[in-house]
Structure 1
Amino acid sequence: MPGRLEGKNAIITGAAGGIGLETTILFAQEGANVLMSDISAPALATALAKIKQLLPDSKARVETVVCDVSKEAQVQNMIESLDSWGGLDIIFNNAGIMHARDDDATQTPEEIWDLTHNINVKGVWFGCKHAVLSLRRHSKTKGSIINTASVVALVGSATPQLAYTASKGAVLALTRELAIVHAREGFRFNSLCPAPLNTPLLQDWLGDDKPKRARREIHFPTGRFGEAIEQAQAVLFLASDEASFVNGHDMVVDGGMTKAYVTPEGPSLRAPVNNALKEAL
C-alpha cells in the first residue's frame, strides 16, 4: 500500500532534532524523499544515522545539507539542489531560535532582535520564496508549504521573549498572505503553532524544581507537555493530499493550552499540582 507522501520530494529545515527529526522520520515512512537541513553538520550526521537505524528497509531517499536559513543564497542552493530529484513538492520551514538573552522591550539587545528575526522570519520568507520558484520551474500544479510559528503568536508569553514572540507573529501573517496570493496556483501555505514540548533541553532546565515544573504544567489541561511526534503528525497531515482544502490555516497543537483559563485553584486540577503551584506563587 503506497504511503501518504509516496513519490513526493520534501525539504525539512531544523531537521537534526525535535519536531524536524520526527517529521523527517514520518515523511520517510510515508514514502517521501527528504532533504534534511540544519546548521550543524555533526547533528545532521547523528540524525541521519538514527533514521537509517530506524528505517533500514526504507526505499525513501534521505539526504542532508548544511544550511543557514538566514542566508538567501544558501536557501536558494538548497532548494535548487532538488531539481535533480524532479523538483520540490513540500517544504517544512521549521528552523528557528529562541535566544537566552531575549527579554522584554527594555532588556532585549538589538542584536538579539535582529538575529532572531533573521532566522525566524527572513529564513521562512526565503524558504517560501524559493519553494514557489521551484514549484513554478517544474510546472507543479500543487505544493505544500508549512511554516513553524508558535502558540505565543496567538496568546503571548508570560515569560518575556519579545523578539521570539514578535517573530512568530510575523510568520503567521506571512503565511496567511502567501496562502491567498498563491492559492490559484495550487500552492498551499499553512502554519504550525506548537505549545512548549517535552524536550531534553526543557527537562534539564526544569530539573527537580517541582514548583517551577508545576508553574509550566498548570497551563496544560492535559497535565503534561506535548511531544515532538504529536507536532510531526500534524505536519504530515498538512503536507498530505488529505489536507488539499486546508490553506492559510494556523494549526494549533497545544493540548488545549490556548483555550484554558488557568487559576491556582480549579476543580479539574489535581491537588498535588495545586500545592506545588502555591509554592511557586
Structure 2
Amino acid sequence: MRIVRTVSDMRAAVRAVRAEGASIGLVPTMGAFHEGHLSLMRRAREASDVVVVSLFVNPTQFGANEDLGSYPRDEARDAALAEEAGADILFAPPVSEMYPAGFATTIHVSGITDVLCGAHRGPHHFDGVATVVAKLLSIVTPDVAFFGQKDAQQVLVVRRLVRDLDLPVRIEACPIVREPDGLAMSSRNVYLDAPARAQATALNRALTAAEDLAARGERDGAVLLAAARSVLADAGIEPEYLELRDAEHLRPLVRVDRDALLAVAARVGAARLIDNRILKGES
C-alpha cells in the first residue's frame, strides 16, 4: 500500500490508474479505524480495481467546544489495518494541503442539514462535511464512494451534494457494524469508561424496541418513540434527540406510512453517540 500526502501526488496516482482502465473505490475516513471502517474497505475491495482510503481529521466539521483536539489519532495503526483490509492507497494529507492559506470556499446543502445533528451541532458541521467530501471526490474522482449507514444524515447530505453538483460518482451506504452487545461501532467509543460503555448499549436497545413494535404492525410514530424513550429513560439517558423522520428527505413523520429513519443522539459519559434504524413503510 502506498501512502500519499499531497493533492498533486494523489491526482498523479489517479491518472495512472485511469490510464490502465481501472475503477476506483474511495472510503473517506477520519481514522481511528474499527471494524465499521474495515467493512467499508473490504466492500470497496470487492467492488473496485483500486481502493483509496482517505485519512483526514477534518477540522471544519468540528465546533469550538467539540473534540477536534482529542479525537483519536494513530496513523501507523490505521495504515496497517487499511493495508490488511485491501487498500491500495492511503491518502493522508496534512490540514495545510486540504485547506491552504487563503482557502475561502464552503459548500452548504440546504434543508436536510437543518435537523438532527445539524440542529444540535450547528450549521458548520455539515458545511464542513460537504466541503471536504466535495474536495475528496474532486481529487480522487472515484467511481464509487463508500459510507457507513451509522451516519445516516451524512449519507443523505453526500447523496444530495452529488446529485445537485452532477458529480460522476455512485454513493454506496454500507450497513452499521455493531459490537456483540449491540453498540454501534464508533471511533468515539474509546471515550467510554466501563459504566458508560454498559449504559451506551441502551441506544441500540431503544431502537430495537421501536423496530420490534413496527414489525408487529405499529405505525403510530408517537407510540414507537415512546417505546424507545422508555428504554433510554430506564438506562438514565436523556437523548439529545430521538426523532422519526422520512428516510429520504428527513421530513418529520407522525406515522410510518413510508420508509422512516428513527435516529437518536445522546451524550453518554464523555462521548456523544449516534445510532439509527430504518423502519419500513406500510407499502
TM-score bracket relative to the smaller structure: 0.3 to 0.5
Structure richer in helix, relative to its length: 1
